[in-house]
Amino acid sequence: MLKQLPTHYSRVPMKKLINTFRKKTFSRRYAPHQPDAPLLALEDVTVRYDTGKVLDQISYILTPGSGVAVVGPNGAGKTTLFKVIAGIMDPDDGIVRVSGHEPGGHTCIAYVPQRSEVDWTFPATVADVVMMGRINKMGPFLWPQAEDWEVVRQSLDFVGLTDYSKRQISELSGGQQQRMFIARALAQEAELMLMDEPFNGLDVPAQEKILGILENLQQQSVTYMISMHDLRLAAEQFDQVMLLNKELLGFGSPEEVFTRDLLLVAYQGHLHFVEGEYDTLAVGDDCCEGGPDEYH
Q: What's the average model confidence in pLDDT over 8-21?
A: 48
**2: confidence class by pLDDT, cuts 50, 70, 90:** very low
Q: What's the average model confidence in pLDDT over 74-91?
A: 94
Evaluate whether 134 touches 191 at the Cβ level (below 8 Å). no
Distance separating alpha carbons of residues 226 and 5, to the nearest angstrom: 35
Does residue 244 form part of some domain? yes
Which DSSP letter does residue 168 get?
B
Q: For residue 253, give the CATH number of its domain.
A: 3.40.50.300
Q: Which H/E stretch holds residue 55?
A: strand 52-62
Does residue 89 form part of some domain? yes
Among 115, 154, 114, which residue's Cα sits nearest to residue 133? Answer: 154
Does residue 109 form part of some domain? yes
The yes-or-no verdict on residue 141 having pLDDT over 70 is no
Q: What is the pLDDT of residue 279?
A: 55
Does residue 187 form part of some domain? yes
| Number of domains composing the chain | 1
Q: Which is more confidently placed, 181 or 32?
A: 181
Does residue 285 form part of some domain? no
The domain in which residue 147 lies consists of 14-269
- For 29-75, write each residue's pLDDT tens digit: 455 666 677 889 999 999 999 989 999 999 999 988 899 999 999 99
pLDDT, the chain, mean: 83
Q: What's the average model confidence in pLDDT over 70-90?
A: 94
Question: Which residues 6+ apart lie within 8 Å of 192 measured at CB?
Answer: 39, 40, 62, 85, 98, 106, 108, 109, 110, 222, 223, 224, 225
Does residue 230 form part of some domain? yes
Does residue 106 form part of some domain? yes
Q: What is the pLDDT of residue 24?
A: 44
Does residue 199 form part of some domain? yes
The yes-or-no verdict on residue 139 having pLDDT over 50 is yes
